[in-house]
Amino acid sequence: MATIKNDDDVVKELVEKPKKKPRGKNIGETLAPVTEPGDNAKYIGVSLKLFNMTKVDLFKPDEVQERLTEYFRIHTEADMKPTVVGMAMALGIDRRRLWEIRAGAPMGGHTPLDLPTLTVDYIKKAYDFMENLWENYMQNGKINPVSGIFLGKNNFGYQDKTEYVVTPNVHNDSDYNKDDIIARYSIDSPDSPTLPTIDSADSDS
């Protein structure tokens, strides 16, 4: 005979029923950007400070060092991650020119060798500082992995590639043996056996 449960028993079972573990986050939730109120105002405010900076004379190393120090100080006070493009803005150049100085590549009308050695050293050191920060962010989960990989390729020259080594099959004349060639293509050799011929009259009989 079925037992009819009263309301108190039903409530007790629901309370004591073990709760299921929450499901894991899907890929969309994991990669979704995390924003808080005031983020945009903070980012725009820092960018405006960089926008209003006067252009630095790259031929004056002291000014370059002072500007780079100011750039990192601004981001420290705002508790923001510095960017390569932002560092270029602070120096009054674009990201490509900044990379050319770091890599020692030609830059339009002059080369990095034309700049004072201290200027190049300061910029290279700041760029290395940025790369070190990027690695720390990646290793400690402080940046989205997909975004981090993009930044590593775009700003620091990292690559995902598979290399194939192709060895040409080149033979010298000494690699070929005349007798082997004649044996292989004996039908073209004067020493090859003569094939029997079929007379037309015999074929009609």
90-104, 124-138, 158-172 — which is least confidently predicted?
A: 158-172
Paired with 110 in beta bridges are 107
Amino acid at 143: I
| Mean pLDDT computed over every residue of the chain | 76
Considering only CA atoms, which of 179, 43, 60 is closest in space to residue 116? 60
3-36 pLDDT tens trace: 565 666 655 665 565 555 555 555 445 556 677 8
H helices of 113-190, where? 117-139, 145-156, 178-184
Q: Which residue has the higher pLDDT, 103 or 178?
A: 103
Q: What is the pLDDT of residue 24?
A: 54
Side-chain-side CA neighbours of residue 94 (13 Å): 3
133-185 pLDDT tens trace: 888 888 888 888 888 777 777 777 777 777 777 777 666 666 666 777 777 77
Which sequence spans correspond to the domains of the chain? 40-156
Amino acid at 144: N
Q: What is the pLDDT of residue 78?
A: 92
How far apart are alpha carbons 64 and 122 in whole angstroms? 7
How far apart are alpha carbons 63 and 54 in whole angstroms? 11
pLDDT average, residue stretch 118-124? 93
Q: Which residue has the higher pLDDT, 109 or 81?
A: 81
pTM over 0.95: no
Amino acid at 160: D
Please name the residues in contact with 186: beta carbons below 8 A apart, sequence gap of 6 or more.
192
Paired with 107 in beta bridges are 110
Other Cβ atoms within 10 Å of 122 Cβ, number: 23
CB–CB of 71/90 below 8 Å?
yes
Backbone angles phi, psi at 50, to 5 degrees: -70, -40
Q: What is the pLDDT of residue 49?
A: 94
Does residue 192 surpass a pLDDT of 70? no
Sequence-separated contacts (24+) of 96-103 with Cβ below 8 Å: 98/123, 98/127, 99/155, 102/127, 103/157
